[in-house]
A and B are shown apart, each in its own frame.
Chain A
C-alpha cells in the first residue's frame, strides 16, 4: 500500500483552489496486485460473448481521468470484455460479483461492454467484503453503445470500512443509443467514483441514478460528466444521498454542451439529507455551454429532513429515529428498485438497515 493517485476526479473547469474541490487524491493504492482467486462471472445470456482482452478505445475518456484508468489497465486482476451481438436483447443480466476477503485483498477489475447495433444488455457489478477485511478495489468499466443499443450498468458497492474503493466509468453512445447507469455507493472507508459519457450520436441518452450513504468517517468523492456532442441528446442525472456521523462527501456533476449539440437537454439534481453536526457536504454542479439551442438545468438542495414530514410520521406513532430511518429508506427506494436482481436489492436494503440500526439516535 504505497502508491497514490493524484488529482483524480478533476472538475472540468477549475475554480478557487482554496475550496479544495478541483480534484482529489487517493492514497493507499497497492503497488502490486495478486491474481484474483475465485469465480466472479455468472452464466452468460445467449448472444453475449466474452473474452479477456481489454478493448482499446482511445475515444472513451473516464470520469476519474487518465491516471486512474491507466492504473486499472496496468494492474488488472479480473474483469471481462462482454460483446453483445447486433440485435440481441440479452434475456438476463450478466453478474460480476467480487469479494474482498482473506483470499483476495485487492480487486482491480477492467470490464468492457460493447453493445452492437440494436442490442440490449444489463451488467451488474457487485462489490462486497468479508467483515473487517482490509482491501482495495479499483475498477474500470468502459461502455460502447452502438446505434440503437441499450446498456444498463448497475454498480453496487457495499464494502467494509477497511476498504478503499474506486469506480471509474467511461462511455460513448451512438445514434439513439441509451446508457443507463445506476450506482449505489454505500460502503468503504473511502469511496471514489467517476463517470464520463459522451453522447455522440443524434438522440442518444444518458440516465444516471446514484445513491450514496455516508456514516462513521466515510469519505465519498464523485465526479460525473455528461458530454453532449450530438443533436437532440439528453441526459438526466439524479443523485440522492444521506450523510451521518463524521462522514463527508464531494459531488461534482457537469453537463457539457459542445457546439453542435442543438436541441440537447441536460438535467441534473442532487438531494442530500444531513443528520449530524459533523458532516461535510460539498457540491459543484456545473453547466458548460457552447451552444445556444439547448436546455440545461440543475438543482441542488441540502439540509435537514422537512420537519412537517417528520411530525406527520411521528404523529402516526413512529419514534423520531424510526421516522428518520424511514425517510432515508424512502430517499433510496426509487433507485434501489431499479436493481434487476432481487437478491442484490434485498442485500442493499439489509445493508442500509443494518447501518441505520447501529445508530441509536440520529441528530
Chain B
C-alpha cells in the first residue's frame, strides 16, 4: 500500500537550554508602569549625574507625546503599565567570576559565557535583568588602552564621563521613535567600549544579556567608540526564559566609527517567544570607515529590528548580513536602513529569512541617497524561504535616490525549496530528506560563515532543522 503523502516537517528550535528560570530575587524593583516619579526613582537609585536625570525626564516627556508605530507587526499584548522597568539583581558588578552570586553564575555557566571567554574572547560583559553583573577584559587588551566597562561606571568616571555625555543618545535621539524615548527615560546597564586610535583588537569582545524576571523590561545601552584607524569585533547575545507575561526589550546601541576605522557588530538574538524586541541600533561612520553588521534573529514574539548606518564620511561603507527565522507565534520584522550622506559611499545588504509553522517574517529596508552624495553604490538582495502554507513572509524595501550619479540595485526572491534542486540532488544518490536538509542549510550558510566559530556553532544549534522527508 502506498503510504499517505506527508508534509515535510521542520522541527522547531530546541529552546530548553534557554528556558530555565531562576527565582526572582531582586534587591530593588520599581513599581509597574511609568511615571515621572518612577523615572526619578531609577535615576536616584543609580546615582545619575544631574544632566542624566534631566535627560531621563525629558525622554519621558517625549515618550508620552509620541504615538506607537502605525506600521509593522501588531503590538497587542504589550501593556507598558505592566512592564517593570528596573530590576536590580542582588549582585554588585564584579570583575571576578567567583564573586558573582551562585544563581546568576549558574545561569551564565549554563549558557556557556565564561567558557567562551576563556576560549576565544578578549573580554566579556554579562547583564542580568537591568544590571551588569560581570565585566572582565583581558590584560593584554587593557594594556592596549582599550576600555570595556559597564555604562554606569563610564558615566560616572571622570575620564570617560565627558565622552559619554558627548555621544549619549546623539546617534539615536529620543525623538526618533516612541521606544527610543522610553529607552532614554529608563535605560539601565549595558556596555561602554572605547578603542584608542590605531589599536587593533585581535579577538572579539562580547556582551551577553539575560532577562530573568517575568513582566520586566531590559533597556541596556551600548556605546562603542572606535577611534581613527582602530579595529574591533563586538558580539552581543541575548536570551530569556519563557514566562506567560510579556517582556520588553528596548535597548539602544550607538556605534561611532572613526576615520578609516573598522567595526564588526554581531548579534545572535534568541529572546524567548513572549518578548517584544523593540531594539534600536545605529552607527555613524566617518571617512573611510567600515561598519559590518551580522545579525541573527531567532527568538522574540514580536521584533522590530533595523540596524541603521549613517555613512557620513566620504568612502565609508556598510555591510549587512542577516538571517531571520520565524516559527510558531512569531512576527519578526527585521531589515536594515542606510543613509548615504557623503559621496562615494558604499552599502551592501544581504538577508535571508525562513518562515515556518505559522511564523511571519518581514524584510523591511530603506536605502536613502542624499542629493550631494554622488558616486554612491548600493546593492540589496533579500531571499525568503517559505516552509509551509500557514506561514507568511513580506518584503517591504524602499529606495530613495536624490541624485543621478548612483548605482542602485535591488533583488528579491521568495519561494519554497525548489523541486528541481531536490530532484537533482536525488539523482546524485542523496535521499530526499538529506537533499532538503542540504538546501536549507545551504540557504543559511552565507550568514553562518560570517559569524565567529563559537557563535556559528550556537547558530547551527539554533537552525538544527530536522527534516522529515515527504513521501509519495
Contacts and interface: CB of A to CB of B under 8 A. Distances in A.
On whether the two chains bind one another, the answer is yes
Contacts of A285: 395, 397, 410, 412
A277 B386 CA distance: 41
A13 B394 contact: yes
B411 interface: yes
Scoring B71, B362, B389 by chain A CB atoms within 10 A of each residue's CB, the highest score goes to B389
B386 A291 contact: yes
Contacts of A259: 389
B202 interface: no
B411 A297 contact: yes
A302 B401 CA distance: 8
A294 B414 contact: yes
B366 interface: yes
Contacts of A21: 398, 400
Given A14-B71, A15-B366, A284-B398, A290 B406 contact: no
B415 A296 contact: yes
Given A15-B71, A19-B398, A285-B397, A291 B411 contact: no
B201 to A, nearest CB: 34
Contacts of A291: 386, 389
Contacts of B384: 287, 289
Contacts of A11: 396
B409 A283 contact: no
Contacts of B407: 302-304
Contacts of A298: 395, 410-412
B103 interface: no
Interface size class, chain B: 35 or more
B410 A296 contact: no
A130 to B, nearest CB: 32
Scoring B362, B393, B398, B407 by chain A CB atoms within 10 A of each residue's CB, the highest score goes to B398
Contacts, number: 142
Interface string A293-321: 11111111111100000000000000000
Given A296-B413, A299-B411, A300-B410, A289 B394 contact: yes
B71 A16 contact: yes
A46 B371 CA distance: 55
B384 to A, nearest CB: 7
Interface residues of A, number: 45
B395 A287 contact: yes
A286 B394 contact: yes
B404 A15 contact: no
B395 A286 contact: yes
Nearest to A260: B389
Interface in A9-44: 11, 13-17, 19, 21-22
B405 A283 contact: no
B409 A292 contact: no
Contact of B414 (A19, A282, A296): A296
Contacts of B399: 281-284, 300, 302
A296 B397 CA distance: 15
B398 A282 contact: yes
B70 A289 contact: no
A293 B391 CA distance: 12
A-B complex: 5 closest residue pairs judged by Cβ atoms: A274-B404, A296-B414, A292-B386, A14-B71, A300-B410
Interface of A: 11, 13-17, 19, 21-22, 243, 257, 259, 262, 274-304, 363
30 contacts: A11-B396, A13-B396, A14-B70, A21-B398, A243-B404, A262-B389, A275-B404, A277-B371, A279-B404, A282-B399, A282-B400, A282-B401, A283-B410, A284-B398, A285-B397, A287-B395, A287-B414, A289-B394, A289-B414, A290-B391, A291-B386, A292-B386, A293-B416, A296-B412, A297-B412, A297-B413, A299-B410, A299-B411, A301-B408, A303-B404
